[in-house]
Every structure is written in structure tokens, then in C-alpha cells.
Structure 1
Amino acid sequence: MEIKNYIWDFDGTLFDTYPVMLDALQQTIAKHGILYDGDLAYFIKKYSIRKFALDYATPEFIDDYHTLEDELQTDVKFYPEIPAILSEIVNNGGRNFVVSHRDNKTYQYLGDLTNLFSEIITSDNHLARKPDPEALTYLIDKYNLDPSETAMVGDRPLDIQAGQNAGIKTILFDEAGIFLDNALKADVVFQTWKNFELAKVRG
């Protein structure tokens, strides 16, 4: 059975926001005098900025990071192929949703693309963060989505785990090639949106 419904992560999946996020993180680390010699890009992809703050920083760190990232994130761009992909899903009778850890500024960033989504879940909805499946199961129940026709699309393990925890298919966008061994056991793994084919994802 072909996938009809797509639940999308926002940062690093629909929109290429990670370069600015990484810059903001590095500046906040310097501000707080934190010594970290690991690969930050790898850490935030494998885990999250929130986990970095919990593991290495003070409670004030995450607030300072969000303030700076909001100031620096002035030219938010979606991946070029995304509008056509979203439109194709809708034109084929499917639905798009967003589940983002970002706040309601997500709507501003989406702009005209907002009309291609049936619902957008942000941190302001106060549902449990991924990999907890609460936001996904909320959408599945509210829109009576068939799990065999529904997929979670994201760029990090927590997105894939959320989809698996919700009992739906999973699609991993691994632009940096970090997870190509597919230890996460996503149903589909790909590195560029030019290679994304809706027909490849089957129930």
C-alpha cells in the first residue's frame, strides 16, 4: 500500500536551518565558557541541542541559545525540491503535517507553504517532544490516518524513533551521511531531495 500521509519534521528536513543553528550553538558555548572538543554537528544530529544543554551547560544556556538563534535565523530557506514534493502529495489525495520542536514561528517560516499542510504542531501545542509519539498519535487519531499509509519524515534518530513508536513508516533524510548504516532501521534512507521518490515508500 502506497504512503499517502506524511508527517514532517521542520528543522533540517523541510528547511535548511542547521548552519545557523550550529553557529548560534557555537557562539552560546563560547559565551558560557564551555569546553567541548567533540563534533557538534554530529552531536545535534544524533541527539539534540537540548540534550547538549542538559549534558554540558547550565539551565540558562538553552534560553540564551534560542534568543541568539532567533536573531541569526533571518533568511530561512526550504530545500528547493520541497514545494513540489508537498504539492504532489496533496495533488495525489494525500496529506502533509508538521511536528516541530520549534515554537509558533514555524508558521512564519513556512509562509505560503502553510496551505499545503493539514495541521502544524509546534512546541506551543505542549505535546510531548519526539521521540515520544504523542504528537503523531494525536494526528493519527484526529484525522483517522491509516498507519500503513502514513510516514514520519525527519533527519534525526528521534524523528525515526517517534515514527516507530507511533507504529507508522519512517523516512530518514540523511544529508550528511551520518546514518547510512541504517542502524535506526528506517524504512527509507536518502541523502538528497532530488532522490526522494514517493513511490519508493510502501506500506
Structure 2
Amino acid sequence: MKIKNYIWDFDGTLFDTYPVMIDALQQTIVKHVIQYDGDLAYFIKKYSIRKFTLDYATPEFSDDYHDLETKLQTDVKFYPEIPAILADIVNKGGQNFVVSHRDDKTYEYLGDLAALFTEVITSDNHLARKPNPEALNYLIEKYKLDRSQTAMVGDRPLDILAGQNAGVKTILFDEAGIFFDNELKADVLIQTWENFKNED
């Protein structure tokens, strides 16, 4: 599969932010006295924290969660292989983009890596959330990307669906093996970035 342009999800794809997100979610659940006996990590990966709030909580829960997650997320780390992967894509004439549901704090977390991205889309751009393809289509049209040479890279169903809805290739990063049966029909399924190949 010849891919030149990569549209990346942020949380759980480029950066290993989920441990702190789960911690903040658990603390907020306790604070709001919510009864939930399921697997939080699985729920968040398969759906989203937004859906958890809609199904089990209130808007106040969401505000409290985001405030706490921002306070706890003090040592944001990218997956070790990511800088080299991003640089290799650029060095081979490709482009990297981010489409994240996180706000403009994304830029701060990216730090020096931001230079390896042509454009970063966050919730502050007010484009429709994934799996709606609006943000992907915006990038594709703005930069005249060839859809057959463009891939959406993410760790959740909504990322893969967004890519499919935009008519681009899809790469599912499934570190925990939650979707290992590939029921999402992603074009590529990988469990570690050590196995990522950006082929000419």
C-alpha cells in the first residue's frame, strides 16, 4: 500500500496519554458517585469519553473530568518510535497532519514534533468530530491530497470510520489487542509502532 500523506489521531496514537485519561476518569466517577462496573479502558477505546458522559453522567461530569485530566497530564510522552516515523515520512516527500478531539493544548504537547506536521486540527477549529469526515475532507481539499495515497491513522473505531467516510486508507493502531479481529476492516492493523512501515 503506497501511502504518502498521513492524518494522525493524537491520544493513544501519537502520544501515550491513556493511562492518565483513565486515572482522571476513575477519579471523576468516584467524585460524581457513578456506578459503572464495566471495563473503562475498553469502553473509551471502543467509543469515547464523550459517550461515557452521555450514557452515564452529566455535563458537569465532563467539565470536572477535563479540568482534572489537564492537571494530571503533566508528563505527556509520545511513543518512542513516533519521531523517527514522522521524520521519515517528511524526508520521503510526504506530509503529516493531526486531527484531534483535544483542544489547542495539543500544540503544547506536540512541542518540537509540531514542525513535522503540515497542519494540526483540534476541537478549537470547530469542525465536526470523527467519525464525521469533515476535518479530513478539509485537509484533503486544502492541500489537494490524493485520497488513494492518504491514510487516517488512529487507535479507535471512530478514527477508522472517519477515514473510510473520507475515502482514504486506514491504519489501526491496536496496542492492547482490543480490535485484533479487525472487525473494523482497517487496511492495516498494527500493535506496535516498531512494525510500522512507510514504504516508497
Q: TM-score w.r.t. structure 2 length?
A: 0.99
* Structure 2, unpaired ranges of 5+: none
Q: Please give the alpha-carbon distance, in whole angstroms, between the structure 2 residues aligned to 1:59 and 1:35.
A: 17
Segments of 4+ moved more than 4 angstroms: none
| Matching residue of 2:113 | 113
- Which AA in structure 2 matches 1:103? D
Instruction: Work out the percentage of aligned pairs sharing the same amino acid.
Output: 81
Q: Which residue of 1 aligns with 2:13?
A: 13
Query: What secondary structure, in the 3-state scheme, does the structure 1 residue paired with 2:153 have?
Result: strand
1:87 maps to 87
- Following superposition, the deviation at residue 84 of structure 1 comes to 0.2
Give the alignment of 1:103-182 within 5 angstroms.
103-182=103-182
How many angstroms apart in 1 are the aligned matches of 2:58 and 2:87?
Answer: 43
Q: Give the whole-Å Cα distance in 2 for the aligned partners of 1:169 and 1:12.
A: 19
What is the CA distance between 1:58 and its match in structure 2?
A: 1.2
How far apart, CA to CA, are the structure 2 residues paired with 1:110 and 1:7? 15
Residue 38 of structure 2 is matched in structure 1 by: 38
Q: Tell me, which stretches of 5 or more residues in structure 1 are unaligned?
A: none
Amino acid at match of 2:109: Y
Deviations 1:108-147 (A, max 9, x none): 0000000000000000000000000000000000000000
Provide the rounded CA distance (Å) in 2 between the counterparts of 1:59 and 1:96: 34
* Structure 1 Cα separation of the partners of residues 79 and 123 of structure 2: 22
Aligned residue for 2:180, secondary structure, equals: coil
For 2:20, the aligned partner's letter is: V
Deviation at 1:101, TM superposition (A): 0.3
Whichever residue aligns with residue 121 of structure 2, its letter is I
C-alpha deviation, 1:15, in angstroms = 0.2
TM-superposed CA distance for 1:198, in Å, is: 1.6
**What one-letter code is carried by the residue in structure 2 that aligns with 1:66?**
H
Question: Helix, strand or coil for the counterpart of 1:153?
Answer: strand
Q: Distance in 2 between matches of 1:138 and 1:59?
A: 29
Aligned length: 200
Matched, 1:184 2:196: no
1:64 Cα deviation from its structure 2 partner: 0.5
- Determine the structure 1 residue equivalent to 2:56: 56
- Measured in 2, the distance between the counterparts of 1:62 and 1:167 equals 32
Q: In the TM superposition, what whole-angstrom CA distance separates every residue of 1:6-62 from its partner, at most 9, and x where no partner exists?
A: 000000000000000000000000000000000000000000000000000011111
Partner SS for 2:33: coil
Q: TM-score w.r.t. structure 1 length?
A: 0.97
Distance, in Å, in 1 between the alignment partners of 2:166 and 2:31 is: 39
